[in-house]
């Protein structure tokens, strides 16, 4: 482990001079610069970032906590965040919370405080009161559908509008009995289930009944959950002619069950997902889906955090609304497209 001191000794100069060379300080004569550089090269010196961090009070690391890396949406998003952070010379420390409240709390309470300068969190179970009780002072940017009464930056597409867009598309293509897959059990008391709200609003606007029997809750948001939810829906009563899923993995699970039951998509049941993960494009029946602008989400989140870190952001919490669009594929309109 070679330090500035060793280099300084070798070059016969002071520690600070070496530091100046390393940091590209202006007022160093070319001769001196070269002399020091030679010593650096000879000894193979590498700056100790930990020491630098201690001294500077910042680490250049931001944490990203998502529910589940196994969900392609979050994996793809994480990739985008890593790239966006790299453009600001930040490194990303990745965590996954499993969507469990205790884990989310732990992360947002900064159990890795001082290792990371700030946090981007995509919460599932976290409550407003948890955020208000937060003692950690490092900047926090929230991602995703949940809405909070807490003074933190929040990046999320307009989920209600996006959901309405999807449901509208189903209505426009002649569907009348449109189910929602992937509600939370507790969504009744939560004001925040925006996609479900969008579904309700658009059905109302179309003059269609938002029958409770058409809403299926799931434990989590994976393919298996989707498959089970679809089965439950079919077993429950009269078949729907369309399904709007909370996300693409649930939709993929639904496709699986529909295939198993011999129902044709979209002829018997149309399916719309949400997230536009790469997998959806390649599904046997390519999936119509709402495509949030992942790059924009990642970029906005990182920009927001970087602004906070630089202190150039105001005190007001920011709300950013990245774009979204509907990607129409076979699962709603068939190969006729």
Q: Is 72 in the site for its own copies (CB under 8 A)?
A: yes
In residues, how long is the chain?
Answer: 337
Pairwise CA distance, residues 92 & 322, whole Å:
21
Q: Is 29 in the site for DNA (CB under 7 A)?
A: yes
Asked whether 265 and 255 are in contact (CB, 8 A), the reply is yes
15 binds, among DNA, its own copies, none (CB under 5 to 8 A by kind): DNA
**Coil, helix or strand at residue 264:** coil
CB of 47 to DNA, least distance (A): 4
Tokens found for residue 272: 């719309």
Q: Is 282 in the site for its own copies (CB under 8 A)?
A: yes
| CA-CA-CA-CA dihedral for 255, 258, 264, 266, to nearest 10 | -40
Q: Which of 34, 38, 41, 54 binds DNA (CB under 7 A)?
A: 54
Q: Is 122 in the site for its own copies (CB under 8 A)?
A: no
Going residue by residue from 57 to 76, which x/- string records binding to DNA, judged by CB under 7 A? x-------------------
4 binds, among DNA, its own copies, none (CB under 5 to 8 A by kind): DNA
Asked whether 258 and 269 are in contact (CB, 8 A), the reply is yes
230 binds, among DNA, its own copies, none (CB under 5 to 8 A by kind): none
CB of 160 to its own copies, least distance (A): 28
CB of 49 to DNA, least distance (A): 8
- One DSSP character per residue, 86-139 reads HHTT-EEEEEE-TT-HHHHHHHHTTTTBTTBSEEEE--SS--HHHHHT----S-
Q: Which of 5, 87, 264, 281 binds its own copies (CB under 8 A)?
A: 281
- One DSSP character per residue, 159-171 reads HHHHHHHHHHHHH
Tokens found for residue 156: 């999320």
Q: Is 128 in the site for its own copies (CB under 8 A)?
A: no
- Of 13 and 106, which has the nearer Cβ to DNA? 13
Q: Is 328 in the site for DNA (CB under 7 A)?
A: no
Tokens found for residue 81: 């965040």
Q: Which of 12, 47, 191, 238 binds its own copies (CB under 8 A)?
A: 47
CB of 308 to its own copies, least distance (A): 16
Cα 69 off chain centre by? 10
- Of 95 and 202, which has the nearer Cβ to its own copies? 95
Q: Is 333 in the site for its own copies (CB under 8 A)?
A: no
Pairwise CA distance, residues 30 & 118, whole Å:
39
**Residue partners of 98: CB distance under 8 A and separation at least 6:** 67, 68
Q: Which of 42, 48, 239, 284 binds DNA (CB under 7 A)?
A: 48
Q: List contacts with DNA (CB under 7 A).
A: 1, 3-5, 13-17, 19-20, 22-23, 26-29, 31-32, 45-48, 51-52, 54-57
């Amino acid at each position: 482990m070679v330090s500035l001191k060793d280099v300084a000794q070798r070059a016969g100069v002071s520690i600070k001079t070496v530091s100046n060379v390393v940091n590209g300080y202006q007022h160093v004569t070319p001769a001196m610069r070269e002399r020091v550089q030679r010593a650096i090269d000879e000894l193979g010196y590498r700056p100790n970032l930990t020491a630098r961090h201690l001294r500077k009070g910042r680490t250049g690391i931001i944490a990203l906590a998502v529910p589940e890396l196994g969900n392609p949406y979050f994996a793809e998003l994480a990739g985008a965040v890593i790239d966006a952070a790299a453009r600001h010379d930040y490194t990303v420390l990745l965590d996954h919370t499993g969507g469990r409240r205790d884990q989310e709390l732990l992360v947002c309470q900064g159990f890795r405080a001082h290792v990371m300068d700030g946090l981007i969190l995509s919460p599932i179970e976290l409550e407003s009161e948890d955020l208000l009780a937060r003692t950690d002072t490092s900047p926090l940017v929230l991602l995703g559908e949940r809405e909070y009464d807490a003074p933190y930056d929040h990046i999320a597409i307009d989920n209600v509008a996006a959901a309405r867009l999807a449901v509208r598309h189903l209505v426009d293509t002649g569907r009348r009995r449109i189910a929602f897959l992937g509600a939370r059990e507790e969504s009744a008391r939560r004001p925040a289930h925006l996609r479900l709200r969008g579904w309700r609003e658009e059905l109302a606007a179309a003059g269609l009944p938002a029958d409770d029997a058409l809403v299926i809750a799931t434990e989590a948001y994976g393919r298996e959950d989707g498959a089970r939810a679809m089965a439950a829906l079919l077993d429950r009563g009269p078949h729907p002619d369309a399904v709007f899923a909370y996300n693409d993995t649930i939709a993929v699970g639904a496709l699986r069950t529909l295939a198993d039951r011999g129902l044709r998509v979209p002829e018997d049941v149309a399916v719309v997902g949400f997230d536009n993960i790469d997998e959806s494009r390649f599904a046997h029946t390519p999936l119509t889906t709402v495509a949030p602008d992942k790059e924009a989400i990642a970029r906005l989140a990182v920009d927001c955090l970087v602004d906070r870190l630089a202190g150039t952001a105001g005190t007001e919490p920011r709300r950013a609304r990245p774009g979204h669009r509907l990607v129409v594929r076979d699962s709603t309109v068939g190969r006729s497209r």
